[in-house]
Amino acid sequence: MKSKNAILLPREQRILIEVGENIKLARLRRDLTAEQVSERANIARSTLWHIEKGSDHISVGILLRVLSVLGLSGDIKNIGKDDLLGRKLQDAHLITKKRGSKREK
């Protein structure tokens, strides 16, 4: 059985590109070369290049190693942290029905 590669929507691809650009800017602000970061993260320079270009085939583990080299590993914990849609959906299910008036004795 042949597996199909998932195709990213243009909006999703733009997000990956922006993340890659942010990682590259963080590297440059720290005055680190691609070779230094890739060595410290124990990855190939081409892998770092793919991350910085927004490639969709980079594992979360490799991304975390690069973020750790840049001192940004805590940033990965913010993924999904402020789940506004999820909270709205949850709140919609938690709304209680209006109670009827109490009967007087």
Mean pLDDT of all residues belonging to the chain: 90
Other Cβ atoms less than 10 A from the Cβ of 66: the count is: 23
Phi and psi at residue 9, in whole multiples of 5°?
Answer: -70, 155
Output the domain CATH number for residue 61: 1.10.260.40
* Residue 61: domain span: 10-79
pLDDT band at 35 (very low <50, low <70, confident <90, very high): very high
Q: What percent of the chain shows pLDDT beyond 90? A: 67
Torsion of CA 84, 53, 70, 31, to 10 degrees: -130
The arithmetic mean of pLDDT across residues 53-76, rounded, is 97
In a domain, 4, yes or no: no
In 1-105 the beta strands, taken as DSSP E runs, fall at: none
* 3-7, 28-32, 33-37, 59-63: range with lowest mean pLDDT: 3-7
Above 60 in pLDDT, residue 89?
yes
Write down the pLDDT at residue 95: 75
Structurally, how many domains does the chain consist of? 1
Task: Kindly state whether residue 89 falls inside one of the protein's structural domains.
Answer: no
For residue 90, being part of any structural domain is answered with no
* 32 inside domain: yes
